[in-house]
């Protein structure tokens, strides 16, 4: 989804390479990664605004012109600036989804893992929007199918990735996936992905792929047991799960 940094093919990098338009691959690569580096000012804009910069200093159009188009004679349409920004955001969302904190703990149903799933889902949604804007619905559908197979039906990973060959029994797999919140029997990955995706993709016409219940799935998770519950210094009002009831 991020794309290949060597060939600049696939995902966000291919989209940005197309907007850049540089014929030399090294030139395009340098421009793209300079743009992505500068995009941090937008990705973490609240931090920078609280310190040294003003909102006037953080403008996507200026970043594109000064970095992505550096050394390239090309005029962009307004929609190209939008697509560049959304593709860059998808790239950073995908990086955010790889935070190791999510797999540090002994249980899957916890908020660090939930955040990672939300971020990879948002990255996929961003790229689906980009492909729809670029009149490539087949590419968007391919990403949706990937999201459905890998996230919505996460439990099927046992067969898809032949986890038995790694010594994992099916009973152990099912036990690891058990929901630790009383409001849903779905595993954490399915809950996070479905709740996030339906709120973004229904506007693209993917209503039939979801149910009303998906939009109302709880964002609550289990606790980080060894870090929170077994630590006697912490006193939790809710000892059973992390979150609140949604009315």
Residue 15 main-chain phi, psi, to 5 deg: -60, -45
| pLDDT above 90 as % of the chain | 77
Q: What is the DSSP string of 98-142?
A: T-GGGGSSS-SSSHHHHHHHHHHHHHHHHHHHHHHHTT-HHHHHH
- HSE, CB side, 13 Å, CA atoms: give it for residue 112: 16
Mean of all residue pLDDT scores within the chain:
92
- The CA distances from residue 121 to 104, 201, 208, in Å, are 20, 11, 18
pLDDT in tens, 207-223: 999 999 999 999 999 88
pTM greater than the 0.75 cutoff: yes
**Looking at 5-9, 30-34, 208-212, 230-234, which range is the least confident one?**
230-234
| pLDDT above 70 as % of the chain | 91
Predicted confidence band of residue 121 (pLDDT cuts 50, 70, 90): very high
pLDDT in tens, 29-81: 999 999 999 999 999 988 888 888 888 889 999 999 999 999 999 999 999 99
In contact, 201 and 131? CB cutoff 8 Å: no
> Does 21 score more than 80 pLDDT?
yes
pLDDT in tens, 77-118: 999 999 999 999 999 999 999 998 888 888 899 999 999 999
Phi-psi region of 4 (alpha: psi -120 to 50; beta: other; left: phi over 0): beta
Mean pLDDT of 234-244: 64
Predicted confidence band of residue 239 (pLDDT cuts 50, 70, 90): low
In contact, 32 and 17? CB cutoff 8 Å: yes
> Does 166 score more than 90 pLDDT?
yes
| Long-range contacts of residues 1-5, Cβ cutoff 8 Å, at least 24 apart | 1/90, 1/94, 1/123, 1/124, 1/127, 1/143, 2/90, 2/91, 2/94, 2/95, 5/29, 5/33
**pLDDT recorded at residue 102:** 83
Domain ranges within the chain, ordered by starting residue: 1-96, 103-247
Better-predicted residue by pLDDT, 164 or 237: 164
User: Which residues partner with 4 through β-bridges?
Assistant: 9
> Does 6 score more than 90 pLDDT?
yes
Predicted confidence band of residue 240 (pLDDT cuts 50, 70, 90): low
């Amino acid at each position: 989804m991020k794309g290949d940094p060597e060939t600049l093919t696939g995902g966000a990098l291919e989209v940005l390479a197309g907007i850049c338009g540089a014929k030399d691959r090294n030139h395009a690569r340098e421009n793209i990664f300079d743009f992505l580096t500068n995009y941090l000012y937008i990705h973490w804009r609240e931090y920078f605004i609280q310190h040294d910069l003003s909102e006037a200093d953080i403008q996507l159009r200026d970043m594109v012109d000064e970095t992505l188009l550096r050394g390239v004679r090309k005029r962009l349409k307004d929609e190209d600036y939008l697509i560049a920004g959304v593709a860059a955001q998808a790239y950073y969302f995908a990086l955010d989804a790889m935070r190791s904190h999510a797999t540090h703990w002994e249980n899957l149903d916890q908020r660090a893992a939930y955040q990672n799933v939300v971020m990879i889902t948002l990255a996929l949604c961003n790229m689906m929007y980009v492909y729809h804007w670029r009149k490539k619905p087949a590419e968007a559908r391919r990403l949706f199918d990937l999201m459905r197979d890998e996230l919505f039906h996460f439990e099927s990973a046992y067969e898809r990735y032949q986890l038995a060959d790694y010594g994992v029994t099916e009973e152990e797999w099912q036990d690891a996936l058990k929901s630790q919140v009383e409001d849903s029997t779905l595993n954490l990955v399915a809950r996070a992905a479905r709740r996030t995706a339906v709120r973004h993709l229904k506007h693209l016409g993917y209503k039939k792929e979801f149910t009303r219940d998906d939009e109302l799935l709880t964002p609550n998770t289990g606790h980080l047991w060894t870090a929170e519950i077994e630590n006697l210094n912490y006193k939790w009002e809710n000892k059973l799960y992390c979150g609140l009831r949604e009315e």
